[in-house]
Structure 1
């Protein structure tokens, strides 16, 4: 399909226009190749496979016949723990050892603390990199991150949001019971679909503090957010930007989706804004309608260093969406893997349930204050994040200034520095029996795991250093609470249609089970 501006040209001149357009593309390609060669002139770049003119290694990756994560493993065996790939106009430097990650994110944390350039599509949804995850390293990023931590993710704030988590857990248990009862065998439930909905409800509640949202609206907001996540995935024109004129339809669809996202989320923002105005005027909200505090409250009057104005409505949509999307799929994916491990090993489920009974019994729901004092549950969560990190790559870093080096190699300022996580948590030099799933390794007298990487890089499911995910505390707390509540409320076992459990994975937005987990549940007898 040709662009509309070509379709409307007179037929007699179409050949001339086509030749001119082709020539323009050729010039753009030649210019891009020349610019890249000039920028990298004299640099000692990391080793990597030889590429083709213009496209570099892009076609080798596309036609490798295997997932990118397996292609990277092959390159690591051939070239070592630092590899360069030339993906069209983008240079990727991939590191995959604990030593190199520590050098990049801890020892030289400031040098590699920024993010690479964004594609036009991604920039539409990030309001021009106005998010904590995407912002360029500097005053704006510091302001946004500081507010996110103080307004949502600090230990004190997380305690304030305890009612939101309890509401979501009750909703989740009721939903699972209803789905199981409605199934043919009276016991079947899809794990990821239900835990993802529960996590979305928690974050929607924490972000907007609106307690009377019906399920139909929640599902509609969730659907839009899912489509946004898919829309910002890497595309061919991210690597070959001269193809963008041919992909005008996709750009137009992204603009339309952004408009739909704004139209869907902005009414929630305006509702909360009116509630905040009332509270400031001395009118407390109806406790059945609104929570006393939400993350959005901290954003309404946010002053970002270097800017005179508070965030616009569109920027508020972006910041709220970042919080919701960042904590939904990553946590839900981890919990699906957790329940697969629980069902695969009955002794794990029995130990988790026994610890819950010892701590709270069956007289009340387990909550996050209880989970903090459950050593086996905490060990289980650590082992889960070691063996099944929600993503295989940390968010891309970039050098702040020219002259940065890793392992003695130059890392250009226009390069993506990508961190491949599995080879670290699978390294037999760092772990005993790294291929086994064994929570006992983290109990007293066993191995240690600082998941922040500050005490040494052994497993960093939330990255490390200055750009570590600020939601590390919230994420681990939500995983522990959800697993505990699921095991307290139900006995879980593998569905007869899925013997044996398949632990093969695939990469979507996160690393999910290749075969979605279908479970059989039996409600436990509880006194509440």
Structure 2
């Protein structure tokens, strides 16, 4: 792997290749180490790596591993004593060339220049180091020139070079110019990423609003901010899979519903989830449990209300109550257990900590997802954090599986949950424990965030708009009265409350970029543009819901736009109307969207029926968003509450 540290004439180089080029890759390093002969690891190894990478798709991982092993050996005293021919300057130059060539190969994989390198590697008159140096320098020229003169950034520059060779015209989308290697890196991170992307899409005119090209490292991205094009992407089978990020892979989500590849296994998991958790029949059967958990949350809030020494109401931070209630909703269904409110419940606190860490890992920007070479740098903490969280999740979930198995053997069916459904599968449908842990953890992880975030935004908007709160109170008092609690059957008769929730989803979509992207599994056409296989596709739902050509006065919180007299009562939020599809659409639409919406409707109705809300003077409400896994309020909501209707 170490390129040309000693100099040989052409004949000796040819003899050297003939003797060692056919050595298996795994055998070459041990021979090199045992004999201490640099020639056993120069030209032949490098050329073979080029052949393997371009023709057999071995990828960067094996190359980097071999580089690490070789350089580690060269740092030992044995290497110093035996490699007498090695020139230090040449050694350092070779190491630099190797690492930069690895980056180059990630970009050059499909281009004609890559094929030239492979052909050149058979010429005995070329030194391997020279070949790799030419490749590296060529790549740098492409990245620098392409970054600044070709819209979309370096990954698209290389893609266009490959697609046009020789002189083949391909119509690809436009986008902002990027930096060399990094591309438009700065646009794909930060708490306001959805807003920044929307500004660039709108600023480029109708073409970039429909489809905008971006580069992040080696990742090609297309982003749509148009409902018609978004529908084309989300409902296409070509975009039926998700790109597997390092966090999703390391946390085991590759075997769960969200990231599993389309196929029999994925269809099997989705069928089980829909049938036993998310069907209308199952949601109706869980209404009693949902009411019970909602009452616990209401009671916890009521118990903690207080006034100061002069009788002024003291504000509460509502986020912990909403998050604990969300955890209880999902763990009751998935595990058959719920937790008390407050910090004294250690198991619930530990679970919430794991969920927060998962949000940080999956929702954060990971450089190694876009420059795979970085995954092999030991000082980056991302991989170790994933491993630690995986161990914690296994320690938490495995005892639950064992407990339910024991109950099943004893014939105890007093507590039924989704765990029991998975354990009851037989034959070809039976899942391994690792797969069950992945599926269960994903259920808990995905089911504890959206509703809590949505209700926090809704209450903030209602508190800031007293007329809206008064109208909701009037509707609730008319339909429900003040002598009983809101029931699920009442929701259909509360159109204004439903409109408030829809307007919250429009103004503050919990997943403004629909949380997880899609990936093209073959070359395709989108909005008249060529999108190559392997391109990541994203939809900016926040941009769609704040586009004045789609929604009049998009920056005004106005629930009346969804009322019948305004013609907006028929707008569906479950994925059929891409003007407002906060839960996604198509094959990868959120399977729990109906359950999540039913939960949010009941929570909002109960919270506004039983309390009157006002601002906490010590913590003024700020509608600043912060995009992590979901787009939550940057500052947790604090509010003062007065009981209207006590728990009955």
Considering the TM-score relative to the shorter chain, is it more than 0.5? yes
CA offset digits 1:272-297 (Å, max 9, x no partner): 3333444xx4x441xxxx3xx32222
Equivalent position to 2:225, from 96, 118, 138: 96
Would the aligned equivalents of 2:295 and 2:647 in 1 still touch at CA under 8 Å?
no
Partner of 2:518: 397
Instruction: Answer yes or no: is 1:142 the counterpart of 2:263.
Output: no
SS in 2 for 1:445: helix
CA distance in 2, matches of 1:171, 1:7: 62
Partner of 2:13: none
The structure where helix makes up a greater share of residues is 2
RMSD between aligned residues: 2.9
CA offset digits 1:436-464 (Å, max 9, x no partner): 2121222223223122342x421111111
Equivalent position to 2:571, from 436, 449, 461: 449
Instruction: Answer yes or no: is 1:32 the counterpart of 2:159.
Output: no
Would the aligned equivalents of 1:340 and 1:517 in 2 still touch at CA under 8 Å?
yes
Q: Which runs of 5+ in 2 are unaligned?
A: 1-67, 81-87, 113-157, 164-169
- How far apart are 1:52 and its partner, in Å? 3.7
SS in 2 for 1:520: strand
SS in 2 for 1:135: coil
Equivalent position to 2:630, from 496, 510, 517: 510
Instruction: Answer yes or no: is 1:252 the counterpart of 2:384.
Output: yes
Q: Write out aligned runs for 1:189-268 (5 A).
A: 189-210=316-337, 215-232=345-362, 233-247=364-378, 249-268=381-400
Partner of 1:273: 405
CA distance in 1, matches of 2:546, 2:308: 39
Partner of 1:294: 417
Partner of 2:610: 489
Would the aligned equivalents of 2:575 and 2:586 in 1 still touch at CA under 8 Å?
yes
Equivalent position to 2:639, from 519, 524, 528: 519
Q: Which runs of 5+ in 1 are unaligned?
A: none
Give TM-score scaled by structure 2 length.
0.72
- How far apart are 1:150 and its partner, in Å? 0.7
CA distance in 2, matches of 1:37, 1:354: 66
CA distance in 1, matches of 2:434, 2:308: 42
CA distance in 2, matches of 1:508, 1:66: 7
The 1:85/1:211 distance shift into structure 2, 3 A limit, reads closer
CA distance in 1, matches of 2:225, 2:388: 38
Instruction: Answer yes or no: is 1:333 the counterpart of 2:447.
Output: no
Equivalent position to 2:247, from 100, 115, 121: 121
CA distance in 2, matches of 1:66, 1:309: 41
Instruction: Answer yes or no: is 1:168 the counterpart of 2:293.
Output: yes
Relative contact order, higher structure (CA 8 A, sep 6+): 1
Would the aligned equivalents of 1:36 and 1:89 in 2 still touch at CA under 8 Å?
no
The number of residues matched between the two structures is 505
Partner of 1:179: 304
Larger radius of gyration: 2
SS in 1 for 2:368: helix
- How far apart are 1:123 and its partner, in Å? 0.5
- How far apart are 1:104 and its partner, in Å? 2.1
CA distance in 2, matches of 1:221, 1:66: 25
CA distance in 1, matches of 2:328, 2:339: 12
Would the aligned equivalents of 2:507 and 2:557 in 1 still touch at CA under 8 Å?
yes
Would the aligned equivalents of 2:190 and 2:627 in 1 still touch at CA under 8 Å?
no
CA distance in 2, matches of 1:464, 1:428: 22
Would the aligned equivalents of 1:450 and 1:458 in 2 still touch at CA under 8 Å?
no
Would the aligned equivalents of 1:192 and 1:517 in 2 still touch at CA under 8 Å?
yes
CA offset digits 1:461-486 (Å, max 9, x no partner): 11112221111111111111111111
